[in-house]
């Protein structure tokens, strides 16, 4: 199984986000940069065997689904807050 450099791995995830979910480049980059800032990719940096094309696809899906779940949770919280006011 071919492994990627850390930078190539992150680039692949960004590319997959644009291809799979039709995110624009800026949104995909932000998603990856934010995950990196949250130390999401520390293990990938430390363990070369985790940096494969297959793993990049799994990580792209996980990042996107996590983003969607956060957005849904925030929406529900805002709705509850508005309902309390009325």
The mean pLDDT value for 45-60 works out to 97
Q: What is the DSSP letter of 15?
A: H
Per-residue model confidence as pLDDT tens digits over 25-48: 999 999 999 999 999 999 999 999
Which spans in 1-86 are helix H? 6-21, 25-37, 42-46, 53-85
Determine the pLDDT at residue 80.
84
Read off the pTM.
Answer: 0.85
pLDDT, greater one: 29 or 1: 29
Q: What is the DSSP string of 53-66?
A: HHHHHHHHHHHHHH
């Amino acid at each position: 199984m071919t492994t990627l450099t850390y930078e190539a791995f992150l680039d692949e995830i960004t590319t997959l986000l644009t291809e799979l979910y039709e995110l624009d480049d800026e949104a995909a980059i932000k998603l990856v940069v934010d995950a990196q800032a949250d130390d999401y990719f520390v293990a990938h940096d430390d363990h070369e065997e985790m940096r494969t094309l297959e793993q990049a696809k799994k990580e792209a899906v996980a990042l996107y689904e996590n983003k969607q779940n956060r957005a849904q949770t925030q929406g529900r919280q805002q709705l509850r807050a508005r309902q309390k006011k009325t």
